[in-house]
C-alpha cells in the first residue's frame, strides 16, 4: 500500500521515535497530524517540518492522550483538516515507575482509546474505507525489565490487546490491519529517564544495572524504527504481526504457535 495522499495521526509525534515516523510518512507523501502533549516541542517540530515538507502537509495538535475528550477531538480535527484518516500510530509512551498509574494510563489505556477511535474513523463497521493501526510496544514485552515492572506490564498488554484486536478486525471485516512494534533501546530523550528518581522511583537503585543492559544490547537509532514502522504501515499482508527491532537481529518478527482450535 502506498501512503501517498493518505492521512496519518501519530501520538507522541513531536520527538523521538514518533518524530522519526512522522518524517518518514511525510517523505513518502502522506499528510500527518502530530498529536503530542508538549506544546513547545510540538511548535518547534511543526516549524521544522513545514520548512522541509511544506506547510500544508502536517498539523500539530496539542493533546494529552490520557484526556479522552481531547483525544477524540484530535482525531476529529485531523479528519476536518485533511478530509480523511488512513493510518493511526499509537506511539505516546512514558517510563514512570513512581507514578505507575500514569504509566498504565498513557502506555495502555490511551493506546486502547486511540485504537478504538481509529476504528471509529476507519472501520468498515462504521461505514469507512479501512486503514491501518500500529501500536508501539517494546522488547521489554519479551525480555522483562526488573527496572521497570509496570512499564513492562503495559508493553505486554499492548501486544495482547493488539493481537486480539487484529483477530477481531478479521472476524468483523473491519478492513483495518492492526500490528505491534517492539523496539529494543532507542536513542531518544526517553532514555534519560533512567537518571531520574522522579521516573524510576525505588528502582533508581538499579540504574547501573539498567545501563549495563543498554551496553549489552546496544542502542538503536530512531530512523531504523521508522523504517520498520513503514513496513508495518505499507505491507498489506501484515495483521496481528509483532515486529521486533534489535541491534543483534535488526528488523524481524516474533513467531507464535498457531492457536489451537
Ligand atoms: N526509547 C526507547 O528505548 C524505546 C521506546 N519505546 C516506546 O516508543 C514510544 C516512543 O518513545 P520515545 O520516542 O523513546 O520517547 P520520547 O520521550 O522521546 O517521546 C515520547 C513523546 O510522547 C509524548 N507524550 C508523552 N506523554 C504524552 C501524553 N500523555 N499525551 C501525548 N503525548 C505524550 C512526549 O511529549 C514525547 O513527544 C513509547 O511508547 C516508548 O515506550 C519502545 C522501546 C524502546
Ligand atoms: C530509561 C529507559 C526507558 C525506556 C526504554 C524502555 O525501557 C525500552 O522500551 C526497553 C527496552 C528493553 C529492551 C530489552 C531487551 C533487548 C534485547 C535485545 O536487543 C536483543 C535480545 C534478544 C533478541 C531476541 C529476539 O529478537 O528474538
The closest-lying atom of ligand 1 relative to the alpha carbon of residue 187 is: 1
Pocket of ligand 1 (CB under 6 A): 11-12, 14-18, 36-38, 41, 63-66, 91-94, 106, 136, 138, 183, 185-186, 188-191
Indicate whether residue 196 lines ligand 2 (CB < 6 A): no
Question: How does pLDDT run along the chain (261 residues), one tens digit per residue?
Answer: 899 999 999 999 999 999 999 999 999 999 999 999 999 999 999 999 999 999 999 999 999 999 999 999 999 999 999 999 999 999 999 999 999 999 999 999 999 999 999 999 999 999 999 999 999 999 999 998 889 999 999 999 999 999 999 999 999 999 999 999 999 999 999 999 999 999 999 999 999 999 999 999 999 999 999 999 999 999 999 999 999 999 999 999 999 988 765
| C-alpha grid cell, residue 145 | 525489565
Strand partners, 60: 34
The rounded distance, in Å, linking the Cα atoms of 173 and 25 is 26
The rounded distance, in Å, linking the Cα atoms of 161 and 169 is 12
* ipTM for this model: 0.97
Strand partners, 58: 32
Q: What is each CA distance from 56 to 43, 45, 91, 128, 252, in whole angstroms?
A: 15, 14, 23, 24, 35
The rounded distance, in Å, linking the Cα atoms of 181 and 233 is 11
Cα 21 to its chain centre, rounded Å, is 9
The rounded distance, in Å, linking the Cα atoms of 147 and 152 is 9
User: How many A from CA of 173 to the centre of ligand 1?
Assistant: 31
Contact by Cβ (8 Å): 158, 108: yes
Main-chain phi, psi angles of 99, to 5 degrees = -100, 70
Of 14, 45, 63, 93, best ligand 1 pocket probe by most atoms within 8 Å of the beta carbon? 93
Task: Using DSSP bridges, classify how beta strands 87-90 and 250-253 pair: parallel, antiparallel or unpaired.
Answer: unpaired
Minimum CA distance residue for ligand 1 atom 18: 16
User: Quick one: fold of 7-248?
Assistant: Rossmann fold (3.40.50)
Amino acid at each position: 500500500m502506498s501512503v501517498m495522499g493518505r492521512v496519518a495521526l501519530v501520538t507522541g509525534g513531536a520527538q523521538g521515535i514518533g518524530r522519526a515516523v512522522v518524517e518518514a510518512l511525510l517523505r513518502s507523501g502522506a499528510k500527518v497530524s502530530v498529536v503530542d502533549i508538549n506544546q513547545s516541542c510540538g511548535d518547534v517540530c511543526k516549524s521544522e517540518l513545514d520548512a522541509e515538507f511544506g506547510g500544508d502537509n502536517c498539523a500539530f495538535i496539542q493533546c494529552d492522550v490520557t484526556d479522552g475528550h481531547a483525544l477524540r477531538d484530535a482525531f476529529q480535527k485531523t479528519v476536518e483538516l485533511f478530509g480523511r484518516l488512513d493510518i493511526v500510530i499509537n506511539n505516546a509512551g512514558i517510563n514512570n515507575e513512581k507514578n505507575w498509574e500514569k504509566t498504565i494510563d498513557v502506555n495502555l489505556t490511551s493506546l486502547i482509546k486511540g485504537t478504538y477511535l481509529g476504528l471509529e474513523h476507519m472501520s468498515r463497521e462504521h461505514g469507512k474505507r479501512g486503514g491501518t493501526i500500529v501500536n508501539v510496544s517494546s522488547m521489554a514485552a519479551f525480555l522483562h525489565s526488573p527496572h521497570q515492572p509496570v512499564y513492562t506490564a503495559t508493553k505486554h498488554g499492548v501486544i495482547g490487546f493488539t493481537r486480539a484486536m487484529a483477530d477481531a478486525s478479521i472476524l468483523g471485516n473491519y478492513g483495518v490491519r492492526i500490528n505491534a512494534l517492539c523496539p529494543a533501546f532507542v536513542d531518544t530523550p526517553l532514555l534519560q529517564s533512567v537518571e531520574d528518581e522522579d521516573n524510576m522511583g525505588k528502582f533508581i537503585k538499579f540504574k547501573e544495572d539498567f545501563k549495563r543492559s543498554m551496553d549489552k544490547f546496544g542502542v538503536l537509532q530512531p530512523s531504523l524504527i521508522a523504517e520498520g514502522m513503514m513496513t508495518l504501515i505499507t505491507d498489506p499482508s501484515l495483521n496481528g504481526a509483532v515486529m521486533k527491532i534489535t541491534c543483534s537481529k535488526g528488523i524481524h518478527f516474533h513467531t507464535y504457535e498457531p492457536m489451537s482450535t
